[in-house]
Chain A
Amino acid sequence: MSQDAVHPETEVETAGSPEEDVMVEVRNLKTYYGGDKPGPFGGRPVRAVDGVTFDIKRGETLGLVGESGCGKTTLGRTLIQLEEATDGTIRFDGTDITTLKGYELKQWRRNAQMVFQDPDSSLNNRMTVGEIIREPLDVHEWGTPRERRQHVRDLLDTVGLQREHYYRYPHQFSGGQRQRVGIARTLALEPEFIVLDEPVSALDVSVQAEVINLLEELQDEFGLTYLFIAHDLSVVRHICDRVAVMYLGNIMELGPTEELFSDAANPYTLSLLSAIPEPDPTAEKDRITLHGTPPNPRYPPDGCPFSTRCPVRIRPPEYEDLDDEVWQGIGTLEEILRERQRADRSIRDRLRGMLGMETRYSTIDEIYEEVFGDIHVPSRIEPTLDDVAEHVRANNEGKALDAMKAEFGGACEQQKPEYYTVSASGRRSLCHRHDPEYRTPEETLDDRHQ
């Protein structure tokens, strides 16, 4: 990745070049749960999808990867209108489907279908396989009943099951076969676009390979366009043309599969790739172990979504020389304070605290002892830590966090980064470190991670 190729991309609309046949255009899509009621009972919404922009080209497979809870499934469900978008647009062949209602929406739904993750719970055990696959045809009043039955038998054939399986029940099938039934049901209305939500995650390796082969054959045969949601990166590498990496409702990096796997630019992608265990016992690789867990999507960080766990977070220049363990301690302290700030403290806990009795929460001195007990804390950060302790004793975690951010925060905490184009193929990545002003994520990682 060369520094020259890096420039901020202000117009995200330039992402797809005009000659490409774009099927789905997603612009600044947001899906929030809850928080729609004003007043004291409304509360903050869960920002499951928090402003994503991308295109899906006709006939391609776009992969969507990320940790659980990052909004992959919500995004998939919003694309086919199983969830209502809070903001933004989704254009299918030019039509904004977020505005469709009633009859129009039902008609459009034939075009876009979904294969669900778990074949055990997505098939009704009280219906025969034939009835399950026929259901969408019945709902959309496709042909005559005789034609429907014939179509279902053909579909069974298409997905590699036997026509005689029509009268069997799902429990009589193995996991792989059940997933085939799910795929047949999805194909019943001859859609053009299919969201595959972790279609092989519940299957064993060899069965998984069979289902992947089937999906690829079907794509060739019917010219299907897939959005492939997965957390298994090796499957994604095999099947996808392009990959979008999601974290906390945001797309962190998006680009052609091989390029993204071999030359990832975003620190999150780099960490994710380094965490996959390779099926090769002799492979030696430096694993970047991320600490902690993703933040609560109800309270995402103000700056970069990945800033709380990022191994290459930008540090203020005056503290650039602090030891890594001190930085780790500061990060831990922040995380604890953030958690306490949003935890619902029971009345009992508050009272116990006021009466000086033991509560579920540690005092600030106990926290300092645990976090900084074994390490040498330079005297120049002590004033800040004292300030923070004061605020915590006054039960004001918000102010304590502000004080920490003002002293130790860098660009990553203060503002959300922009997308930068990081390669000739138009790969985009969300990270401040692509700004020529800073060192690149890879250089920093090499430096900090020896």
Chain B
Amino acid sequence: MRLIESPGRILEGSSIRYTETETVRTFASEFSGGMRQRAVIAMALACEPEVLICDEPTTALDVTIQAQILELLAEIQEDRDLAIMFITHDMGVIANVTDKVNVMYAGEIIETAEVERLFENPKHPYTRGLLESIPGSQSGEQLRTIDGNVPTPTESATDCRFAPRCPKAFEECTQIHPELVPVDGEDEDHVAACLLYPEDRSTAKAVEYHQRKGGGDGR
């Protein structure tokens, strides 16, 4: 009974067009995009998991429907004390739903921080570029962009994969693989994989630190 109940309850909410009993007897093809996404969420929750991975759950939806789905996920999280991993490229959604953010580039996590800190004070040049290219967040006529394209990671990284596009790249960037280090040298809550950090050390010292840390990992 629980299995029938739980999807029904999730499908309810703003599923105004059908009543709960009608909803469970309806085919997916008769649903709108938002309702289908609800059905998928109901499926994911049927076995009462503790972790839910949401892979771009709202990217294909309109903003008003996106708002409904985000609200639903927040309610479910509250109700069930669920951990959610939210994968998306929409910075607005990230800012609204997450507590902590990992930024990925070409197969590696290059920066990790609490969401407020990341948006207020991004450290990795890629994160900065990404946040700056959002239209509406900048005043100038031209939108700022990141030159070049994302490489296809075919081999394990021996250097910084962002170096060819990085406005701050220097020589060592093409030789040494940066490790995730605390940006201010102490706080493990905000780490970035960039040879510019920790920022309390000189560049030479920082490079040495990354090299030592990388070597220590058995590379």
Contacts and interface: CB of A to CB of B under 8 A. Distances in A.
Nearest to B25: A360
Chain A interface residue bracket vs B: 35 or more
A279 B92 CA distance: 4
Given A205-B134, A276-B92, A279-B95, A336 B63 contact: no
Contact of B22 (A205, A281, A332, A362): A362
Contact of B21 (A204, A235, A362): A362
Interface stretch (A290-298, A403-411, A440-448): A290-298
B89 A204 contact: yes
Given A277-B93, A279-B95, A209 B135 contact: yes
B150 to A, nearest CB: 8
A367 B92 contact: no
Contacts of A324: none
A395 B115 CA distance: 54
Given A272-B64, A276-B92, A293-B32, A210 B145 contact: yes
10 contacts: A67-B65, A209-B135, A231-B62, A234-B137, A277-B90, A279-B94, A291-B16, A293-B32, A366-B21, A371-B19
A339 B95 contact: no
A209 B22 CA distance: 45
Given A289-B67, A361-B22, A335 B17 contact: yes
Interface in B149-181: 149
A280 interface: yes
B16 A280 contact: no
Nearest to B31: A293
A68 interface: yes
Given A206-B129, A206-B146, A370-B20, A293 B65 contact: yes
Nearest to A200: B135
Interface residues of B, number: 52
Nearest to B72: A289
B103 interface: no
A238 interface: yes
Interface of B: 14, 16-22, 25-26, 32-35, 62-68, 70-71, 89-98, 115-116, 119-120, 129-131, 133-137, 141-146, 149
A415 interface: no
A329 to B, nearest CB: 11
Interface in A186-210: 204-210
B145 A209 contact: yes
Interface string A363-393: 0001100110000000000000000000000
Nearest to A290: B64
B68 A206 contact: no
Contact of B63 (A206, A275, A281, A282): A275
Interface string A291-316: 11100000000000000000000000
A174 interface: yes
A292 B16 contact: yes
Contacts of A272: 63-64
A209 B17 contact: no
Nearest to B116: A281
B135 A238 contact: yes
B62 A209 contact: no
A367 B19 contact: yes
B19 A366 contact: yes
Contacts of A283: 95
A212 B91 contact: no
A237 interface: yes
A278 interface: yes
Contact of A278 (B33, B35, B92): B92
Given A209-B145, A210-B145, A293-B35, A332 B135 contact: no
- 5 closest Cβ contacts across the A-B interface? A277-B92, A234-B136, A209-B143, A238-B135, A292-B16
B62 A282 contact: no
A237 B142 contact: no
